[in-house]
Amino acid sequence: MTTTDDAMNRGALVVTRALSEKSRAIVAEELQGAAEAIYLPDLAQEERAQALAHAAVLLAFNTADELSPSELPLLKGARLIQFTSAGIDWIPLNDLPPGVPVASNAGASSEPMAEHVLAMALAAAKRLFVEHEKLRRGEFNQFTPNRMLLGGTCGILGFGGVGKATARLARAFGMRVLAINKSGESDEPSLKESGGWIGTLRRLDEMLAASDLFVVSIALTPRTVGMIGERELARMKEDAILVNVSRGEIIVEKALYEHLLAHPRFIAGIDAWWVEPVRHRRFEMAYPFLDLPNVIGSPHNSAGGGVWREVSLHRAVRNCRRALLGETPLHLLSPGDRMM
């Protein structure tokens, strides 16, 4: 019997994507001998079926691309299907065998995403793009006032890894931090240190009215689609800065565009768009946001990429190891969180 056969009998970590030698070394490092890693791209077709049928844990990026429809039922005995991405609303999770736990890689890119939030907020507060364009036209507005983040209030809708990392940076800038999550509880020190609070969605209106910087980092689920619409935007300050690093669909696109037109001092930092290449195979805007001077856009690159992919992989495999050892994995999705 080969080593691979032994691993299948014990229950292995099956990886659906081809990984570099460096990435495979990360997988081995994090597993710490808890299981052998089997890489599907290395196997012949009949071996793939055997590996999937005996998988204890599956590590995937997008099962729709990496597994065939006939292979998906083979995972019915798995202890966990772990994805490498934090946001997996765009993956057809309902095609996976019912009853198999599914985990996202929530918080995998918290630190670079928090930096991106503050970069957008600072660019907005300091009018960097507006004044750059005016300089290009020969205007030298040295005495046009900028804004300070210091002393302002940062409201964070969604207080997972990204929200907490953002709170720490906002606190470092001297902002009061307000947060919302499902439980209304958190032991994150920056909340208390800043004089802020954490609550549930019942306090959303209060947060909207108080926020100088409003950050959307909540996951996209059937319950959060269209959560921020015309009514919610109307409750915000005239000169608030809104930054969305989560999903476009959480904000009503038409409502945001019309609010930006009607409130020129209101600024939106949009990293998450409504139609994007990874999730929809194309980039598309229903309204010309990028023609507005009070919009700062980025191509949903807040997660950093580059070397940070290694950090994300470390965190995903670490969660796989929890399942392999019989521990409860982190970031499990509830049935209601699965998008159709």
The Cα-based distances of 141 to 122, 127, 128, 145, 263 in angstroms read: 18, 11, 12, 9, 22
User: Is residue 158 located within the same domain as residue 279?
Assistant: yes
- 218 in a structural domain: yes
Number of folded domains in the chain? Answer: 2
Give the model confidence (pLDDT) of 162-219 as tens digits: 999 999 999 999 999 999 999 999 999 999 999 999 999 999 999 999 999 999 999 9
Give the model confidence (pLDDT) of 131-147 as tens digits: 999 999 999 999 999 99
- 227 in a structural domain: yes
User: Is residue 146 located within the same domain as residue 279?
Assistant: yes
Give the model confidence (pLDDT) of 269-279 as tens digits: 999 999 999 99
pTM for the structure as a whole: 0.91
Say yes or no to pLDDT of 7 above 70.
no
What pLDDT, on the 0 to 100 scale, is given for residue 32?
A: 96
Beta-carbon-side half-sphere exposure of residue 181 (alpha carbons within 13 Å): 16
User: Is residue 127 located within the same domain as residue 178?
Assistant: yes
What pLDDT, on the 0 to 100 scale, is given for residue 11?
A: 80
Give the confidence band of 9 by pLDDT, cuts at 50, 70, 90.
very low
User: Is residue 275 located within the same domain as residue 311?
Assistant: no
Say yes or no to pLDDT of 3 above 50.
no
Give the model confidence (pLDDT) of 237-261 as tens digits: 999 999 999 999 999 999 999 999 9
287 is in which domain, residue-wise? 110-297
User: Is residue 120 located within the same domain as residue 251?
Assistant: yes
d(CA 164, CA 152): 17
CATH code for the domain of 41:
3.40.50.720
Give the model confidence (pLDDT) of 36-70 as tens digits: 999 999 999 999 999 999 999 999 999 999 999 99
What pLDDT, on the 0 to 100 scale, is given for residue 307?
A: 77
Give the model confidence (pLDDT) of 15-41 as tens digits: 999 999 999 999 999 999 999 999 999
Say yes or no to pLDDT of 5 above 90.
no
User: Is residue 158 located within the same domain as residue 185?
Assistant: yes
User: Is residue 146 located within the same domain as residue 235?
Assistant: yes
User: Is residue 267 located within the same domain as residue 323?
Assistant: no
User: Is residue 40 located within the same domain as residue 182?
Assistant: no
User: Is residue 168 located within the same domain as residue 266?
Assistant: yes
